[in-house]
Structure formats: C-alpha cells, structure tokens
C-alpha cells in the first residue's frame, strides 16, 4: 500500500488533498510539516495534516507525489495542528486559511535548500510566505560555578553580580553599562563563571530597557486561595511529553465536532477557571504565580491580553518576574523578530508567550496553562478573515492540550458567567483591592437633564465635572476623561435644511477631524455658549473622515443638499474635548489618547508621561479604560455614558457596563481615594445604575435574565450570515435565497433553528457594498451546525458570484 499524505493547501476549500509520499521522503514527512505540492498545475505550499499507509479512496493514478519537503522539523506541533483543525471545523473556515494564522515565515536556509533541489521553479505561493533568518546576537548568563573569594575585582565582579541578579542579558546591554564589558566577560567565561550564547535576538520595544527583578509580594487571602486552586489544577496535569519534541508521525483522525462537544459537555472541568477580581484586586499577581507553578512543572504558558501596545506595564511586570525568557508577540514586530520569537518557542528555549489575540497560535511547548486577561474584551474576536474568538478558542485549546485555562476580568463576559453556572468554569473571586489603603472609588451620577453647561460653555462639561477637575488639579492629582468618540465633531449638519453630511461609500455620518495643530486653543472662548461652531469660526486644515472606510476629504463650504453656506460642526469628540479642557484649564497639562494620536509607540509614550506625572488631565477613548495602573489618578469623568448604550446590538448594555466599570477602576488605585463622575441622561439605565453601585454580580444576574427572556446568547447560539454586494439587488437576492434555504433545511423545518431575516444590516452600506444579513438562532449547537453545513454548500456553488457571504459563528459585532 502506498504511503499517502493529507495536505491542506491555501485555497478557500475546507477539505484536504491526498498526495503520495515519495520513497525518498518516507519517514521524513510528518504531520505539521510544510511541503510543496502540485495543485492544478501550480506548485503550492501546503501543510501535512496526516500521513498513513493505506489504499487510496480515489483513482491511484490521479494521486501525485509530493514535490518537496520544506520543514525537516514540523512547523506545527501535533497539539497545535489538531487544535487548528478543530477551529476550522467550528467556524466553517477553510483549513488552509486557518493554518496560515499559525505558520511561521520560511527561513532563508529553507529557501536555499529548495532552490538547490530545483524545486522553486514555478512556485507561485511561496512569495507570500515571508523569508527571515540570519542575524544573531550574543547573550551572557552566569553559571552555577562559585569563584574563589577575592579573585574577582572591578568590572568583572560587577558584571557577574549583574548577571546573577538579573539573569541572562544581551552582551550589548551589558556594554551599555560597563564600557569594558567584553574583556570582563571573556575573563569570566574563561573561568566558567559565565557562558556566552549566540542566537537571534528579540529586538523589540518591549525589550529595550532592562527590567530589574521584582520581589513577589505576599499574597492576600483571596489571592492565595485562587493561586492554590490553580496550582492544584496544574499539579493534576500529567507530566509533560518532554522537551517540546513533537510526537512521531501517527495518523490522527480529527475527531468529529458534534460527538466531541457532547463528550465535553458531560465532563467535569476542574481545570478551567474564571478569575473574577475587582479592578486593582491583584489578578496579575495571581497570573504570575500560576505561570511560575506551570514552569516548575516543566510546562509552558500562554498569556493573552486584549491590546499589547496598551499594556507595556503588564509586560514589564512579567519581565521583572521571569526575565527575558518571554516571547512578546504583537503586530509591531518586524518579520525577523516575530520569527525569532516563534523559533525560540518552537524549540523550547522560551516557554512563556504573551500577546494579543493571535498569540493563541503560539507554538508553546508542552502547553500547561493559558491565561486570558480581560477576557470580556471585544478585541478577542477577530472580525475579518477567519472570524474566531480567541477567548473561546483558548478554552478549547487548553482543554485539548490537557492544560489549565484561566480567564480573568473585573467585568466577566455574560458568556463566561454562564459557563460558571453550567459548571464548565470554576469561579475564583478577588473581592477587594490589593493595596491595603486602596478602596473602590466613590461614583456619582450627573444627570445631564438637570445640569447645564459649566464655565467651559460645552453642555457635556457640566458644572460638577468642572468643579471636580478644579479640585483634582488643586490637589496636584491626575484626572482621566473618557469619551467614546474620536475626532473633533462627530457630525456636520446643515444649519438651514438639517442635512447630515454622510460618506459616499458608507451609510454613516462623516466625522470632522481638526488634525494636529501646534496651539491647542479652544474652538470658542471659555464662556461662549454655542456647542456648534459656525463655518467662519472653524480652524483651518481640518478634514472630514469616515470611521468605517478610508475616506478623508476637505470640509465642503456649502451644504450638498440645499447649497446654504451654513454647515455646523455638531457634537463633542475627543479632539474638541481636549481643546475645550485645555482652554478652560490653561494651567493644566492636557493630553489625549485615542487611535488618532496613538501611532506605533505613541500610546506607550503618552501612558509613560501620565505615569511620570507629566500630564494632569488625560482625555481619551476606550484606550484609557484598559487595565492601566496609574497610582495618582483620583478623578475619572465619563463624559457621555449614553453614547454606547443606544446601539442596535444585544450586547450594548453589557459593553456599556463593562466600559463604565473599567474606566471607573482607573481611579483611586493607591492610598488616595478616587472619585468617578458619570454624566448621563439615563441615570436609571441598569448598565449605569449597577456600574455606579459597583454591583457587577447584580448586573450580570439581571443581564443573564434579560438575555434568557429575549432569547439571545448565552441562552441561545447564533450564527450570522453576512452578505454584501456592490449591487443592492444582487445582495438582497442572495440574502433571500440563503434565508429560504435555511428555513427549508431539515433543522429549519423542524424549527430547531430559527431564521431571522433577511434584513438590511444596521450599517446598510459599507465601502460601497450593500450589506444584508440572515441570523440563525438555536437553543443547541448541533442543529445550528447542521443548518450551517447545509448553507455552506449553497454558498459554495449556488449563489450569484457577485455576492459575498461570510459565515460568522458566535458573532460579536452586530452592526
Ligand atoms: P488587577 O490586575 O486586578 O487590576 P493589579 O494586578 O494591577 O490588579 O494590582 C493592583 C495593584 O496592587 C498593583 O500595583 C499591584 O502591584 C498591587 N498588588 C497586587 N497584589 C498585591 C499584594 N498581595 N500585596 C500588595 N500589593 C499588591
Ligand atoms: Zn465610508
């Protein structure tokens, strides 16, 4: 019988293709390795899913041999490969596209080897795979050898002390401190006190500064209890398979998803936790202990955070505890650095990876622990390409790998709370702030219907907020103002006919951005009443921008509808808020943090200035709400709490609540008490009322009940078919066909799947395409999968080619 390989190729199809393993490569082609294979007369880079000796299910003469092996050592370890296959099945995503999420770049040496075999002639797809490799850097570390007393002096003694205190260091960094480090290191190496090692370096902003090792604090009772429970779960894991080696090639049949789901459902899961700790309760310390325990048991750990660029502080704390033996994965990495990180994990040199969503696919060896910090955060859901949810998939990967999973949050997602109730997650609570003197801030609501504009003249800067800012400044403390709208003015309206200026390509209002200006003067002098500046008073150089497509253009000087020269800038965005605050508090140092100012390293720089006390008032969007630990912030102002609550999305209340609690959590994290002002026109809205009372469990309880009543997750399962087309009729037609097909498939007929729609999406047009949707809803996942499988066939070959359809399983963005 021939030796056959199932290979996934990068085409949008869900199945794998069969190739014959040539005798010369037998024993070398293993699952997880990349190969070159012929596919419709092109040569493609594929990934081996399985290898086995069997008779082919198709005509043997049609089976082609593999052209070449790219990876001598499989790029994807068995554990990761199996997980990716399940992920693809769960989301109805093409396996080739899913594998791409995890594949590393191709090393130059590999390319050279293939060229030497003549295998790269006519290869089309290798071009996309980036090539890296080459640069190496020297590292020094202290050995266990003890010197004879009194034999070391000067720099040699100092360098050795540094290495002993801080662990391995790049030689270049030691040279920054000690001019003559090289000769000192040479001397130390000759005496076996130090070893030198060359490898590819992580040349990354997160590693630029040396981090002093910290001294772990003594845990409080709640932290100790949580750490002990996680430790016990880690202790129960079997011993690791060993050294990050990949198991030998065995044919692994991917397990069917439905059956598997039933098995999981029946299984108790003492190894998945929800760490529910109030803001500032010391969750990070629990993570650090869990990682330590995991490493001590010979296993690796994976840490996922929502936005790594916003969490340099968190990374610094990890480095202070674990040194540079940490792979930090983020979008700002160069290809070479990313590959260096990947490679050091892959060979087991580094055992801890930290990163955003995509870190889910890191090849952590002998995975023992996955931590998901701020698990409620929406950024864990990928909204393009393969639409996976990294938190859900972290639970799956951990479960499959036999690893422990810890989801942490001060405002757990409704989904995770539901998992606790169904016994799938064990809840661990940290009810109090960790710092002895810190307590949760006092929250007051400012009813905007009762309070008018304060001295600034803007109705969104009420008198109570103005006074609170004055007090904070007088006490030399810091304030954060949170506003969920970027730009200067969120809308431009004709003062004569009322027409709103909208994007040509999208059915949304354009935002006026004033852009960077040297002098941050207010648009209207303090005390002036008008919230909308007439055209003549507008500053020069501004642009209209669409927040949904790339459109940016000049502000027209007349209304496109009636022609009147009377366009008004309406509403308050962060740019205008910054300018207004700077004008009202001329003595204060005001800065802004939002996507417009936060370029590559800028957000870190702004947060660093805030921490150093060089900013008095920080104005910003969600970016200011994310887990920052800023000791001197005593006032948090939520400028307009209602902005997020009115969206046509069943998660609007949950998301609004999370934002409010998270931003409030930035205040009073140390000895000085914090204060939070929430401005709203809906003080009775549950999201606002519960947030003001710090009553997270109360909100969760109520929200779960509400979801049950209206039949939304977690009470039900959803899948959203997103349809769009340049032609409105084509889009509508495809949507109607899909909805009809869903209603008449067996699950639809049996009413085990409910079909809502077709309907126009809330944002009916985006980037020039008309958008429609069909929502599938079911009590159980099984029937939903059945219906989606039936639809997948129609999507593949039964629809107008000009309509694009995306299956979004467990959708998050509903707009
Ligand atoms: P969270 O992640 O829950 O918001 P952090 O981990 O940032 O909270 O902790 C808040 C602050 O409390 C940090 O400054 C941290 O150093 C400190 N902290 C954490 N645990 C302890 C402890 N056991 N004793 C003293 N301080 C602690
Ligand atoms: Zn647009």
What pLDDT digit, counting tens, does each position of 473-513 carry?
999 999 999 999 999 999 999 999 999 999 999 999 999 99
Quick check: helix, strand or coil at residue 667? Answer: coil
Q: Would you tell me how many other CB atoms lie within 10 Å of the CB of residue 292? A: 16
Cα(283) to centroid(ligand 1), Å: 7
Token pair of 340, please?
């260096």
pLDDT at 297: 93
Q: Which atom of ligand 1 is nearest to the CA of 283?
A: 3
Q: Is the CB of 285 under 6 A from ligand 1?
A: yes
pLDDT at 505: 92
Q: Is the CB of 277 under 6 A from ligand 1?
A: yes
pLDDT at 601: 67
pLDDT at 206: 55
Strands (E), 106-146: 106-107, 131-132, 137-142
Q: Is the CB of 216 under 6 A from ligand 1?
A: no
Identify whether the C-beta of residue 666 lies closer than 8 Å to the C-beta of residue 633: yes
Q: Is the CB of 284 under 6 A from ligand 1?
A: yes
The angle formed by the CA atoms of residues 635, 687 and 569, to the nearest 5 degrees, is 70
Predicted confidence (pLDDT) at residue 207 exceeds the cutoff of 60? no
Identify whether the C-beta of residue 318 lies closer than 8 Å to the C-beta of residue 288: yes
Q: What is the mean pLDDT of residues 277-295?
A: 93
Distance CA 514, CA 466 (A): 24
What is the per-residue DSSP string for 285-306? HHHHHHHHHHHHTT-EEEEE-S
| Out of 209-218, 262-271, 441-450, least confident range | 262-271
pLDDT at 535: 42
313, 376, 434: which to mutate for ligand 1, most atoms within 8 A of CB? 434
| Out of 214-228, 398-412, 662-676, least confident range | 662-676
pLDDT in tens, 129-179: 555 655 567 888 888 888 887 788 888 888 888 888 877 888 878 887 787
Q: Give which of 478, 477, 462 is closest to 677, Cα–Cα.
A: 462
Q: Is the CB of 220 under 6 A from ligand 1?
A: yes
| Out of 168-177, 282-291, 419-428, 461-470, least confident range | 168-177
Distance CA 804, CA 257 (A): 26
Q: Give which of 459, 448, 444 is closest to 681, Cα–Cα.
A: 448
pLDDT in tens, 69-85: 988 889 999 999 999 99
Q: Is the CB of 629 under 6 A from ligand 1?
A: yes
Cα(281) to centroid(ligand 1), Å: 6
Cα(435) to centroid(ligand 1), Å: 6
Q: Is the CB of 223 under 6 A from ligand 1?
A: yes
Predicted confidence (pLDDT) at residue 203 exceeds the cutoff of 90? no
Identify whether the C-beta of residue 290 lies closer than 8 Å to the C-beta of residue 231: yes
When comparing pLDDT for 122 and 581, which is higher? 581
Specify the residue with its C-alpha closest to ligand 1, atom 23.
219
Q: Is the CB of 283 under 6 A from ligand 1?
A: yes
pLDDT at 76: 94
Cα-to-chain-centroid distance, residue 616: 29
Q: Is the CB of 434 under 6 A from ligand 1?
A: yes
Distance CA 35, CA 38 (A): 10
pLDDT at 656: 92
pLDDT in tens, 775-785: 999 999 999 99
Distance CA 6, CA 163 (A): 49
pLDDT at 530: 40
pLDDT at 522: 43
pLDDT at 458: 85
pLDDT at 225: 95
Give whole-number Cα distances, 252 to 4, 49, 79, 92, 288, in Å.
13, 8, 11, 20, 35
pLDDT in tens, 585-644: 999 999 999 988 876 568 888 888 999 999 999 999 988 887 677 888 899 999 999 987
Q: Which atom of ligand 1 is nearest to the CA of 631?
A: 14
Q: Which atom of ligand 1 is nearest to the CA of 278?
A: 3
Distance CA 185, CA 196 (A): 8
Band (252; pLDDT cuts 50, 70, 90): very low
Distance CA 578, CA 584 (A): 10
Dihedral angle sign, alpha carbons of residues 87, 90, 91, 92: positive
pLDDT at 815: 81
């Amino acid at each position: 019988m021939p030796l056959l390989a199932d290979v996934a190729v990068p085409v949008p199809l869900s199945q794998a293709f069969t190739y014959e393993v040539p005798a010369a490569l037998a024993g070398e082609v293993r699952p997880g390795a990349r190969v070159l294979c012929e596919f419709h007369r092109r040569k493609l880079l594929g990934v081996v899913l399985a290898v086995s000796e069997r008779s082919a299910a198709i005509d043997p003469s049609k089976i082609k041999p593999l052209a070449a092996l790219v990876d001598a050592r499989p790029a994807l370890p068995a554990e990761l490969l199996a997980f990716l296959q399940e992920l693809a099945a769960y989301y109805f995503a093409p396996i080739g596209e899913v594998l791409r999420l995890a594949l590393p770049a191709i090393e130059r040496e590999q390319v050279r080897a293939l060229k030497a075999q003549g295998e790269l002639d006519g290869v089309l797809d290798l071009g996309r795979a980036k090539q890296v490799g080459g640069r190496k850097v020297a590292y020094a570390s202290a050995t266990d050898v003890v010197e004879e007393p009194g034999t070391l002096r000067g720099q040699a003694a100092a360098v050795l002390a540094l290495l002993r205190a801080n662990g391995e260091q790049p030689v270049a960094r030691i040279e920054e401190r000690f001019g003559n480090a090289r000769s000192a290191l040479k001397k130390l190496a000759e005496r076996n006190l130090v070893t030198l090692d060359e490898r590819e370096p992580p040349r990354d902003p997160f590693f630029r500064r040396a981090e002093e090792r910290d001294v772990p604090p003594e845990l409080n009772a709640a932290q100790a209890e949580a750490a002990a429970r996680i430790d016990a779960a880690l202790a129960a894991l079997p011993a690791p398979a060993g050294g990050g080696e990949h198991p030998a090639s065995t044919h692994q049949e991917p397990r069917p998803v439905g059956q598997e789901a039933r098995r999981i459902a029946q299984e108790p899961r003492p190894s998945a936790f929800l760490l529910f700790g109030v803001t500032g309760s010391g969750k990070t310390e629990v993570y650090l202990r869990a990682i330590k325990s995991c490493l001590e048991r010979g296993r690796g750990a994976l840490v996922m955070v929502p936005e790594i660029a916003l969490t340099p502080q968190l990374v610094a704390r990890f480095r202070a505890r674990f040194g540079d033996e940490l792979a930090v994965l983020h979008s700002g990495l160069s290809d070479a650095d990313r590959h260096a990180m990947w490679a050091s994990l892959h060979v087991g040199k580094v055992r801890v990876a930290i990163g955003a969503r995509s870190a889910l696919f890191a090849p952590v060896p002998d995975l023992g622990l996955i931590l998901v910090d701020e698990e409620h955060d929406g950024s864990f859901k990928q909204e393009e390409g393969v639409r996976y949810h990294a938190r859900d998939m972290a639970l799956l990967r951990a479960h499959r790998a036999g690893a422990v999973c810890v989801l942490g949050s001060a405002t757990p997602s409704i989904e995770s709370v539901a998992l606790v109730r169904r016994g799938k997650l064990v809840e661990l609570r940290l009810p109090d702030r960790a710092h002895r003197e810190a307590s949760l801030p006092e929250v007051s609501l400012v009813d905007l219907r009762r309070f008018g504009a304060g001295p600034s003249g803007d109705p969104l800067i009420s008198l109570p907020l103005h006074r609170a800012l004055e007090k904070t400044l007088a006490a030399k403390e810091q304030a954060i103002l949170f506003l969920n709208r970027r730009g200067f003015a969120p809308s431009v309206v004709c003062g004569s006919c009322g027409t709103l200026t909208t994007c040509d390509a999208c059915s949304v209002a354009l935002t006026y951005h004033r852009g960077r200006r040297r002098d941050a003067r207010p648009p209207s002098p303090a005390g002036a009443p008008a919230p909308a500046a007439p055209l003549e008073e507008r500053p020069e150089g501004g642009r209209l921008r669409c927040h949904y497509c790339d459109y940016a253009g000049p502000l027209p000087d007349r209304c496109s509808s009636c022609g009147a020269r009377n366009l008004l800038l309406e509403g308050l965005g962060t740019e205008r808020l910054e300018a207004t605050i700077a004008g009202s508090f001329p003595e204060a140092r005001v800065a802004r943090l939002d996507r417009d100012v936060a370029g590559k390293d800028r957000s870190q720089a702004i947060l660093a200035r805030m921490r150093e006390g060089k900013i008095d008032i920080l104005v910003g969007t969600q970016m200011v709400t994310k887990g920052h630990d800023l000791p001197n912030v005593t006032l948090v102002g939520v400028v307009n709490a209602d902005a997020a609550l009115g969206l046509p999305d069943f998660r609007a209340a949950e998301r609004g609540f999370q934002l409010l609690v998270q931003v409030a959590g930035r205040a009073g994290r140390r000895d000085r008490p914090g204060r939070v002002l929430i401005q709203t026109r809906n003080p009775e809205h549950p999201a606002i009322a519960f947030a003001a009372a710090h009553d997270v469990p109360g909100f969760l309880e109520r929200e779960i009940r509400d979801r049950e009543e209206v039949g939304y997750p977690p009470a039900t399962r959803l899948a959203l078919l997103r349809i769009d087309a340049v032609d409105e009729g084509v889009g509508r037609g495809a949507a109607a066909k899909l909805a009809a097909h869903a209603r008449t498939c067996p699950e639809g007929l049996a009413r085990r799947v409910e079909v809502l729609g077709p309907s126009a999406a809330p944002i009916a047009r985006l980037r020039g395409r008309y958008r429609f949707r069909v929502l599938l809803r079911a009590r159980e996942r099984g029937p939903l999968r059945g219906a989606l499988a039936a639809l997948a066939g129609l999507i593949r070959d039964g629809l107008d080619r000009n309509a694009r359809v995306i299956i979004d399983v467990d959708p998050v963005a509903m707009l």
